[in-house]
Amino acid sequence: MATGTRYAGKVVIVTGGGRGIGAGIARAFVESGAQVVICDKDESCGRAMEQELPGSVFVLSDVTKEEDMKSLVSETIRRFGRLDCVVNNAGHHPPPERPEETSIQGFRQLLELNLLGMYTLTKLALPHLRKSRGNVINISSVVGMIGQPQAVPYVATKGAVTAMTKALALDESQYGVRVNCISPGNIWTPMWEKWAAAMPDPTAKIQEGTLAQPLGRMGQPAEVGAAAVFLASEANFCTGTELLVTGGAELGFGRKAAQYTVPTEAQ
């Protein structure tokens, strides 16, 4: 693997770095010369990434467990002596659920993973990021801005991630720590594949996801990785920003009413 110098000598933690978008981000940072600490709760994919990427280290850890996040940060400092960037990527999109099908407990668990997991690690990392005048990159989602049918809990967690990014950017600017988020659209990952497989017609769902972008294709994890390296290494005057990596999915007007089944009594 060719190693560049855009982020040479820097140390980056990537959560959920074992596969999908997180793996794309970990690869992009290694290619830019950084040392990468991969956090994942899935040991097999985390170890496989560690093998693939020279200069990376895998730490088996779950972002919803505060003790795991403490060990992740202390292990990073023990091995590399510094921390320059935290990429909060680990997250989950549950299968489609109408509001009446959602459970409060399920919503609470999703908040723990998609929102509080990000905050826990960030809070623990801040003393080190202040020393290095580093940065945080949260992986949000375009649906946090534009909504998505049958996904109230997911959309709420991602809207909160984007809002949290802006609030933290304000508080941390005095320490020279930048805080930004990336909002991907449809990116072809194991999560997307699993999500489509759970649909009555997976091929039609994938086709729909492909055509949702004016660019006529889904994005690749490497393209989110490129955006993350840009934010960390070159976007020195960007903080509190939401970088859309969507192939233009949010642009224009389109037929939207047909997505919903209107209950008979409301017709």
> Strand ranges (DSSP E) for 168-241?
178-184
**Whole-number minimum distance, CB 259 to ligand NAD, in Å?**
17
Nearer to ligand NAD, 132 or 241 (CB): 241
- In terms of Cα–Cα distance, which of 85, 68, 67, 51 is closest to 59? 68
H or E segment to which residue 51 belongs: helix 43-52
**Whole-number minimum distance, CB 262 to ligand NAD, in Å?**
27
Q: How far is CA 124 from CA 13, 26, 119, 246, in A?
A: 12, 20, 9, 30
Q: How far apart are CA 207 and CA 158, in angstroms?
A: 24
Nearer to ligand NAD, 17 or 134 (CB): 17
**Whole-number minimum distance, CB 243 to ligand NAD, in Å?**
12
Nearer to ligand NAD, 145 or 191 (CB): 191
- Beginning with the edge strand found earlier in the chain, give each strand of the sheet holding 242-245 in spatial order: 56-60, 35-40, 11-15, 85-88, 135-139, 178-184, 242-245
Nearer to ligand NAD, 184 or 225 (CB): 184
Q: How far apart are CA 194 and CA 30, in angstroms?
A: 27
Residue ranges that bind ligand NAD, judged by CB under 6 A: 15-16, 18-22, 39-42, 45, 62-64, 89-93, 113, 139, 141, 184, 186-187, 189-192
**Whole-number minimum distance, CB 179 to ligand NAD, in Å?**
16
Q: How far apart are CA 106 and CA 115, in angstroms?
A: 14
CB atoms within 10 A of CB 131: 14
Residues marked as catalytic:
154
